[in-house]
């Protein structure tokens, strides 16, 4: 058993053990069965269509140990049968656990761990769209800890540490191949941050300043990057119906490659807005720009811009509609390539998804749903492209 596999096992064991020590438990269960059709089940340029049946189980628990300590556990296994895909049956997992503990009247500790077993999607796909690069499964674990310390009535400090790793099922894809100098998609990432928050107007305006550090290393000699980000921001309650936040800063990064490295400076932007004009209607939006981990095997980093919109409307007490739009633009500089001096050009990557969903509440516990998802990827520089449509009908049980 690898060290990282052992860490996952220890984390899951701690989650199970602590649940029995709780003095109070609130448990919620949900089962979501979807039957649908996807005209591009692998998300590749050469489409393969398939019918599918998906069963998503959601089990969450809020555990209260004392007036100072509580925990949240969230487990979501997904079972999917695809009639015309290989393999036909796939299973994915998501597990999240968070422990909150008041160390004192001023200090508050938060520990969280998120484990996922998923299939690669979105912008993934290397130059030429090799088959082994478009149908991969991975498991990852993201462990984080933070301490909030109250300085006075209007300000507090926050310090955090984190460790994340990802391991792919296909060893030739995940581990570094010395002879061909390919693969190396397994990675480790260490994170640290320190933030200062201050309220200018209670319950209305809050400003902050922070420094974040990230060190990402791919398997073997592929390389990676480390970055330091300096940023400032504001959280604003404009009125009871409108809230928003903004972050602006600069990232100073060193991107390592096989045989060299590249120093770069890039802007850091994050912002979001939520509008609730009525009890039945809500809008959300977000945008961001930053240096990020590359989503393919050719580059070690990418400059990424993302934009998202969401809307929900309760037509009646039983019928609701929701929609989402997400767009990700990535720029891959040739100096970000995995091999220094390799004949790889700059690349641009546009990934867009559009989703619509309707839900009808039959009774207190049962819901009927219908959904549609469109996704498309267009690129320059030889990266793989695709588009696809997915429709489904669903039954959801909530207890």
Give the residue, 205 or 134, on which the prediction is more confident.
Answer: 205
Average pLDDT over every residue of 47-54: 94
Provide the 3-class DSSP secondary structure of residue 282.
strand
3-state SS of 187-249 is EEEEEEEEEEEEEEECCCEEEEEEEEEEEEEECCCCCEEEEEEEEEEEEEEEECCEEEEEEEE
Q: Is the pLDDT of residue 286 over 70?
A: yes
Q: Is the peptide bond before 87 cis (omega within 30 degrees of 0)?
A: yes
Mean pLDDT to the nearest integer, 238-250: 96
Q: Which two tokens stand for residue 223?
A: 């390389």
CB neighbourhood size of 226 (10 A): 16
**pLDDT of 274 over the 50 cut:** yes
Q: How far is CA 390 from CA 23, 50, 338, in A?
A: 44, 10, 34
- The rounded percent of the chain whose pLDDT value lies above 90 is 68
In this prediction, residues 359-369 reach a mean pLDDT of 95
> Is-above-0.85 flag for pTM?
yes
- Placement of tokens 């077993």 in the chain: 117
Structural domain range at position 119: 3-398
End-to-end CA distance of the chain, in Å? 38
∠ CA(208), CA(282), CA(352), 5° rounding?
Answer: 80
Q: What pairs with residue 196 in β-bridges?
A: 157, 209
Q: What's the Cα-to-Cα distance from 131 to each of 125, 146, 229, 304, rounded to whole Å?
A: 9, 41, 36, 25
Q: What is the pLDDT of residue 339?
A: 79
Q: What was the pLDDT predicted at 10?
A: 53
> Per the structure, how many domains does the chain have?
1
Higher local confidence (pLDDT), 391 or 3? 391
Least confident stretch, 78-87, 189-198, 208-217, 306-315: 78-87
Query: Which candidate, 125, 166, 172, places its Cα nearest to that of 142?
Result: 166
Contact between 118 and 84 under an 8 Å Cβ cutoff? The reply is: no
Listed range (116-130, 175-189, 236-250) with the worst mean pLDDT: 116-130
Cα separation of 352 and 389, whole Å? 12
Tokens standing for residue 48: 């393969």
Average pLDDT estimate for 35-55: 92
pLDDT at 55 over 80: yes
Averaged pLDDT, 34-59: 93
**pLDDT of amino acid 17:** 54
Grade residue 18 by pLDDT with cuts at 50, 70 and 90.
Answer: low
pLDDT confidence of 124, banded at 50, 70, 90? Answer: low
**Per-position DSSP letters for 155-188, written without gaps between them:** EEEEEEEEEEEEEES-HHHHSEETTTTEE---EE
Per-residue pLDDT at 153 exceeds 50:
yes
Out of 27-31, 115-119, 127-131, least confident range: 127-131
The average pLDDT across 192-210 equals: 95
Q: Which of 16-25, 60-69, 202-211, 376-385 has the highest mean pLDDT?
A: 202-211
Residue owning tokens 């903004």: 246
Q: Are 385 and 377 in contact (CB under 8 A)?
A: yes
Long-range contacts, 24-28 (Cβ 8 Å, 24+): 24/63, 24/64, 25/61, 25/62, 25/63, 25/64, 26/61, 26/62, 27/59, 27/60, 27/61, 28/58, 28/59, 28/60, 28/61, 28/398, 28/399
Mean pLDDT of 345-373: 95
Q: Is the pLDDT of residue 279 over 80?
A: yes
| Residue 1: pLDDT band with limits 50, 70, 90 | very low
Torsion, CA 329, CA 335, CA 339, CA 343, rounded to 10: 90
Cα–Cα distance measured from residue 350 to residue 317, given in angstroms and rounded to the nearest whole number: 38
- Report the mean per-residue pLDDT for the chain: 89
Task: Assess whether pLDDT exceeds 80 at residue 343.
Answer: no
Closest CA to 211 of 266, 268, 164: 268
Here the CATH number for the domain that contains residue 322 is 2.40.160
Q: What is the mean pLDDT of residues 336-363?
A: 88
Q: What is the pLDDT of residue 369?
A: 97
Q: How confident is the model at residue 123 (pLDDT cuts 50, 70, 90)?
A: low
The whole-angstrom separation of Cα 155 and Cα 206 is: 9
């Amino acid at each position: 058993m690898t060290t990282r596999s052992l860490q996952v096992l220890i984390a899951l064991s701690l989650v199970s053990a602590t649940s029995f020590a709780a003095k109070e438990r609130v448990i919620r269960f949900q089962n979501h069965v979807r039957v649908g059709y996807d005209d591009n089940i692998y998300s590749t340029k050469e489409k393969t269509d398939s019918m599918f049946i998906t069963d998503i189980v959601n089990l969450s628990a809020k555990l209260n140990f004392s007036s100072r300590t509580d925990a949240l556990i969230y487990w979501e296994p997904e079972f999917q049968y695809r009639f015309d895909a290989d393999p036909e049956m796939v299973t994915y997992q998501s597990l999240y656990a968070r422990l909150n503990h008041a160390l004192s009247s001023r200090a508050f500790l938060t520990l969280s761990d998120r484990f996922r077993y998923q299939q690669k999607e979105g912008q993934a796909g290397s130059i030429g769209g090799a088959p082994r690069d478009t149908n991969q499964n991975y498991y990852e674990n993201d462990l984080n800890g933070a301490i909030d310390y109250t300085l006075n009535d209007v300000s507090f400090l926050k310090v955090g540490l984190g460790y994340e790793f990802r391991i792919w099922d296909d060893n030739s894809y995940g581990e570094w191949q010395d002879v061909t100098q390919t693969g190396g998609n397994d990675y480790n990432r260490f994170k640290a941050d320190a933030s200062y928050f201050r309220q200018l107007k209670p319950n209305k305006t809050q400003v902050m300043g922070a420094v974040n550090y990230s060190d990402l290393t791919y398997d073997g000699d592929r390389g990676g990057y480390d970055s330091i980000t300096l940023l400032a921001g504001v959280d604003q309650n404009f009125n009871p119906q409108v809230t928003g936040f903004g972050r602006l800063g600069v990232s100073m990064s060193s991107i390592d490659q096989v045989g060299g490295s590249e120093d770069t400076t890039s802007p850091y932007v994050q912002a979001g807005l939520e509008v609730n004009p009525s009890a039945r209607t809500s809008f959300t939006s977000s945008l961001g720009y930053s240096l990020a981990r590359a989503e393919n095997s050719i580059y070690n980093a990418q400059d990424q811009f993302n934009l998202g919109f969401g809307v929900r409307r309760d037509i009646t007490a039983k019928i609701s509609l929701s929609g989402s739009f997400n767009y990700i633009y990535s720029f891959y500089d040739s100096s970000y390539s995995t091999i220094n001096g390799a004949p790889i050009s700059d690349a641009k990557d546009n990934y867009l998804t559009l989703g619509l969903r309707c839900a009808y509440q039959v009774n207190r516990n049962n819901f009927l749903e219908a959904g549609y998802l469109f996704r498309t990827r267009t690129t320059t520089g030889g990266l793989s492209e695709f588009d696809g449509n997915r429709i489904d009908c669903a039954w959801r049980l909530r207890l």
